[in-house]
Structure formats: structure tokens, C-alpha cells
Structure 1
């Protein structure tokens, strides 16, 4: 059986996508792996990239000889698309020539399974590559998570903002961004100690995650005591509502802050901007404008929201 992994511990089985125009081969592979993996199948090579983007499988078993576009071409398409480039591909082939294998590795395959299928060899190769994929995904996730708060880190924020910008540009829907600063945080650390400061940041990060409930909203630690939130498909009115709710929820934590110049509890200032992105602009401008709104909120006395729909006047609340 497959070695224990965090993915399995969470009650989810790894996903395996089988691509073959011969149903008998699909049945053999399905029978071989149905107890270990969540199996998806297709006879149509032209649908593989779309299915892979939809399903995000941990491995693709891909027949080389198929009508329409062959396995080599499919693999090249998978590797050329950022959304599927990291998915390992094992070719299934009846050919044993060295030239065929060289070509397969050149287009991005990680291994070969030869027909007729040997069950022991096939199981070993598939398990090894899925375990390697799970480990790589775990390491990638760790690299993109802030170690203290458990939310996304700055690198992940930059990646997600680019993706959200591209999506909202294509769909012509609004994109909102928050910059959030913990008020007088240096004084908090000086008064209560850095361990208490860490706990404060953790509590605020948890509050942000609970407040932004949609799966595609992103909460990230921007640096120090600053957080950022990416809100795709959120207009200015919705952004204002959420920003005010965040400010209120942080106050409701009632974390004592006797050294604050604002209140006797920890508070936050929020800079919020909303835009419908266009191809001739970029997400750097959104970050810059959100930072300006945050600065304005702090100038106005902290513990408040300063919001702006780009190309309109700012509002401080």
C-alpha cells in the first residue's frame, strides 16, 4: 500500500488520471489502483489538459499512441501550461526503443510503463512518483506559508495577486486588496514582550481567515505586523463592508494594549482599494494604492478604514 502521507491523513486519496484510447487498458489500470487512488479516466487525448487543470491530479498515466494528438504532444502541452506543468507524467507504451524513451524524457515524462502491463512494476513506479509528488507539494506549501501565523507569506501573496489580476482582467470583474497594519505594535512588543506579540499576530491572522470565508480569498502576512488580503470578484461596497468587519473583529478580540495611542485594546488600520483590472495596467499599482490608503488611515488617527475605488475619491471611516 501507499506510504502514509499528510494528504491521506486528511482523508483524501491521491488523484490518478489515466489517458488511453483502449478501454481494456483503462480497466486493467483501474483495477490495479482503485483501492489506493481516486481514479479519473479519458479516452480523448485532446481533453487531457482541460481535465488536468480541472482535477489537479497527482499523476497522469498517458498512452503514447493515440488518435488525434499523440502522447508526446499532450505531454508538451501539459508542461507548457503553468497550471499543469508540475504534474508528473508516466508514458504507457508498447515500444521499447531507446529513441522513444529519449524523446519521452525530452518532452517532460518522468518514467515509462511498458505493455503488456506488469502489475508489480507498474504499482511500484506509480507509487514512487505519487509519493515524490506529494512530498514536493508539501515542501512547496511550506515554502509559501508564513511560519508564525500559518497564513500565506509574501511570496505566495505575489503569486496569488498575479493570478487574481489575470482572472479579473479576463472576466472584467472587480478585484479588491487590503493592506492591514496592527496599530502601535512596537509599543505592544516593548510592553508585553515578543512572545505576546507573536500571539497577538497569530490571533489577528486567525481572525482574518475567519472573516474572509470564501475559498479563493487570500490572507497573507506582508511583513512584520502588516497583513494583506486579496479579494477577487469583490466590488468597492463589498470591500468596505469586509474591511469594517475586520476592524471590528480585531477590536472584539479585546487583546490588552495599555501602551497604545489609540485604545486600550489592540486595533488595526486598513487601506482598501478596488479596481476592474485592464491589460495595460499591473498589480503593482494596486499594491501601491492600497499602501497609500493604509498610510492615510494611520494619518487620520489609526483604528479606521481608508478605502478607494481607483479613479474615485478616497473615503476614511
Structure 2
């Protein structure tokens, strides 16, 4: 087992402060307790020292000339070589927003000047114990043959450091909990998990006080609300030592949030860290949504069309429902662009897309820009009559919209040619057959004089 004194003697600490007297006091205090100490009097030299020979921990002052402690922390966390070094801020700034900013940019603790020697040592030892615990857990996963030995060391460190890390747990923005397996006395199988350690951040997810959760069997019931097989995944963490990492969505009466958690085996249980990733997830979902849309018209893009036609084909095949496809093209659009200019051409396409969007009513209907001035409408559970009705509605609205088109030989306003194909999907045909028939129908509509629709049935001949 690794003793705490061994951890301290092995630790290297970088002290960053522009006041020589602070450096002397902290250096003496730490050296007497067996730590190796490095010193830096400004932000730039501290960055060089940390990158050249990374310490185990950094004590960082905030108010320094040229580069303050906040900026030093940001640069350290942005560098892969130094981002894992724990940083404890030591500052005379005692306002809450100073502390919040320190934790937000990556600090793991905050000590206010003037400091007490016992407090500084206790907080440092807490972090050194935590760092050693992480190292031991990593070794455990890399060397399974030492699993039992490392598990005992991790358990010993966990219980020895509980009092020391209490302040860290209470101030952490991430939810942290330690869970103990509850086993069936006859079979030995895990039937639930009991909360041993739970901090305020994770208690807020349950909308409970930490004291209410400690010692309770609430975990299995909570997991079944999220995902039915998630409990078994945590059991596997305990039984195999395999790390578990996932995102999950949780809706409570008070909030709707996304979280990311990491669970690692710890004794006959596990430790889990939970982080609120709602802002990041909303951004990802928005980016995913934008990635499926055409940048000009706002309807689905070609990639999204390909995905949707395959999805709806499969669904209609399973349900034996008709699937219709309309391909439509702006008549003489090249002439329109040449005469009115590309800006007016873009405006024309946007207005056409708006008409097509208004023509469909159901969530499963899809309007997409198929390419250039060509659009597509996917109509699940829609027969030929329904597709024709939508096509005629579109032509009527285009006449009402009356976008001037002086170079068209069809009329004085912008018109559309529409090709319709539909069938009940079967094992003899594919989505590409439906697209091909709609394309042939569109070509036929143009050949017959444009500003009209033509419908074709999908051929099953091989």
C-alpha cells in the first residue's frame, strides 16, 4: 500500500508568485514536508518551467504583472503537455466571482490570502492523494494481473483521503459519487448500489440534499428511468473493471439536461463523475440540424434527402404502405439567372422552396433541394392521387406567387415541371428505382411543354 508520506515526498510542486516573501514562506513550508519545490516569479517563466519539466501540482497567484494567473491557467489547460496538472489558486481576492472564474478555467481549489499553513498543507495533500489515486487506477486498467493489489490501494486511499477531499467535492462543478455494490446473499449477484459518497452537484440532479442520498438504494430505480440496460452496464464495471463512459439525457420536473459520465471500478463498487453538457449538446444538435439543411433555401440538403428516402422506403416496406416521390424543376431557370442575375435567382429558389414547404403538412414528409434548381418531395403513406393533388396545389400557388420570368417560353412568370413516381415498396425494387422513375416523369413533363406534372409507376422488370 502507498503511504501518504511516500506520496508527499515524491511530489513536485511549482509555486508561481511575484512576491519573493510569499515564495520563501511557501517553499520552506513544503520543503520541510518532503516536497520538491520549483519557483517562478511571473507567468511567462512559470509556463516555461511547467512545459520543460511538468510538476505534480501548481500553486498559482492571480494578481501578477504582465500575465495574471487566470491567463497562465488558460494556457496551461490549452497545452496537451500541461493540461492535466492540477492548479490551486492562492490569492488575496476573496470575491465569489474570482473563485468562480478560477474553477471555470480549470482550477481545482482556491486558497485565500492570508493563508493558514495547516490549510495549505491539507489542501495540497488532498490533491496529491487524488493524483496518486488516479495514477493507481490507470495502472489497474493497464495491468489486469495486479487488479487485486491496486484495488486495495485505491480503497485505502479513498477512505484515508475522504476528510481531505471533502472541500474539493463540495466545490466541484462536476457531480462526484462513490457507489458500493449490494449483492444477493444467496447468489452473490449485484442487485443494487448504495450511495457512499455524493457531492452537492450530483445531488442536484436528483433534486435532493446529499444527506438524503447517502446510504440509500436509489441508483437502480434512477437508472431504469434513463435506460433499461444501463444498470447492467454499471454491474459490468464492477465485475470486470471495464471503464464506462456515456452521455445521457435526463428530464426532471425542474429541468431538461444532458450529462456525460465516467464510471471506474473502485473496490466492490465504482466511482462516477457526472458533468452537465447541456450547452455543448444543444450546440451539437444545432450543428447537426444545420448539416442536414441546404444553406440557401433552408430545406433539407441532398445528403439528408438520401438518408430520408432510404429510411421511408424501409418503413413503408415494413408497413406495406405507398411511397410517392415528386421531383420538380424550375422551368428555364438558366435563362432566368442570365436575365435577372444570380441574386434574383437565389431569391427565386428561396420562394419556390417556401411554396414546396407549405405544400406538405406531416412531420414525415420531406422537402429537399435535390440539386441546382431541382427539388424533391418525399411523401410516405401517400398514393398517386395524393401526390397529384399536392403537385397541382404547388402549381396553383406558383401562379398566384407570379414571379416575373420574361425569358420563359411557357409564360410570363416562374413555373415548375413536376415528375411523380409512386409505389408500395417491395423486395424486387429499390429507392433508386423510385428516383429513376420520378426523374423520367420529370423529363417527360419538360418534353410535353413544361408547367405540368407527369406521373409514372415504378417498373418491376429486371
Same fold (TM over 0.5): yes
> For the Cα contact (< 8 Å) 2:236–2:242, is it kept in 1?
no
Select 1:148's aligned residue among 296, 300, 305: 296
> For the Cα contact (< 8 Å) 1:256–1:265, is it kept in 2?
yes
Select 2:224's aligned residue among 24, 38, 43: 43
User: Residues 170 and 304 (structure 1 numbering): CA distance in 2 closer, same or farther, change over 3 Å?
Assistant: same
Select 2:318's aligned residue among 154, 158, 170: 170
> For the Cα contact (< 8 Å) 1:247–1:270, is it kept in 2?
no
> For the Cα contact (< 8 Å) 2:418–2:454, is it kept in 1?
yes
TM-fit CA distance, 1:174: 0.2
Select 1:31's aligned residue among 196, 201, 207: 207
Select 2:399's aligned residue among 215, 234, 251: 251
Q: Distance in 2 between matches of 1:99 and 1:133?
A: 28
User: Residues 132 and 236 (structure 1 numbering): CA distance in 2 closer, same or farther, change over 3 Å?
Assistant: same
1:16 maps to none
Please give the TM-score of this superposition, normalised by the length of structure 2. 0.46
User: Residues 276 and 303 (structure 1 numbering): CA distance in 2 closer, same or farther, change over 3 Å?
Assistant: same
Number of residue-to-residue matches in the alignment: 239
Select 2:262's aligned residue among 112, 133, 136: 112
Residue-by-residue CA offset, 1:217-272 (whole Å, 9 max, x unaligned): 00000111000010000011111111111111112111011110100000000000
Q: State which structure, 1 or 2, has the greater radius of gyration over its C-alpha atoms.
A: 2
TM-fit CA distance, 1:151: 0.3
- Residue 306 (structure 1) aligned with residue 457 (structure 2): no
> For the Cα contact (< 8 Å) 1:270–1:297, is it kept in 2?
yes
Residue-by-residue CA offset, 1:134-181 (whole Å, 9 max, x unaligned): 232222222211000000000000000000000000000000001000
Q: Distance in 1 between matches of 2:386 and 2:299?
A: 22
> For the Cα contact (< 8 Å) 1:22–1:43, is it kept in 2?
no
Instruction: For structure 1, list consecutive stretches of 5 or more residues without a partner in the other structure.
Output: 1-20, 33-39, 49-61, 64-69, 72-90, 313-317
TM-fit CA distance, 1:309: 3.0
TM-fit CA distance, 1:24: 9.1
1:56 maps to none
Q: Distance in 2 between matches of 1:24 and 1:249?
A: 64
Instruction: For structure 2, list consecutive stretches of 5 or more residues without a partner in the other structure.
Output: 1-190, 196-201, 209-220, 249-259
Q: Distance in 1 between matches of 2:457 and 2:203?
A: 55
> For the Cα contact (< 8 Å) 2:312–2:380, is it kept in 1?
yes
Residue-by-residue CA offset, 1:28-81 (whole Å, 9 max, x unaligned): 74426xxxxxxx966389856xxxxxxxxxxxxx33xxxxxx22xxxxxxxxxx
> For the Cα contact (< 8 Å) 1:218–1:231, is it kept in 2?
yes
User: Residues 116 and 46 (structure 1 numbering): CA distance in 2 closer, same or farther, change over 3 Å?
Assistant: closer
Q: Distance in 2 between matches of 1:138 and 1:108?
A: 17
2:286 maps to 138
Q: Distance in 1 between matches of 2:423 and 2:323?
A: 5
1:273 maps to 421
> Over the residues paired in the alignment, what is the CA RMSD in angstroms?
3.5
Q: Which has the higher contact order (CA 8 A, sep 6+)?
A: 1
- Residue 214 (structure 1) aligned with residue 362 (structure 2): yes
1:57 maps to none
Trace 1:200-211 onto structure 2 (pairs within 5 A). Answer: 200-211=348-359
User: Residues 92 and 269 (structure 1 numbering): CA distance in 2 closer, same or farther, change over 3 Å?
Assistant: farther
Secondary structure, in 3 states, of the residue corresponding to 1:280? Answer: coil
Q: Distance in 1 between matches of 2:412 and 2:309?
A: 35
TM-fit CA distance, 1:280: 3.3
Once the two structures are overlaid, the 10-residue window that deviates more, 193-202 or 278-287, is 278-287
> For the Cα contact (< 8 Å) 1:92–1:113, is it kept in 2?
no
Q: Distance in 2 between matches of 1:298 and 1:280?
A: 29
TM-fit CA distance, 1:308: 2.1
1:232 maps to 380
Q: Distance in 1 between matches of 2:225 and 2:332?
A: 60
User: Residues 23 and 236 (structure 1 numbering): CA distance in 2 closer, same or farther, change over 3 Å?
Assistant: farther
Secondary structure, in 3 states, of the residue corresponding to 1:269? Answer: strand
Secondary structure, in 3 states, of the residue corresponding to 2:410? Answer: coil
Q: Distance in 1 between matches of 2:449 and 2:328?
A: 14
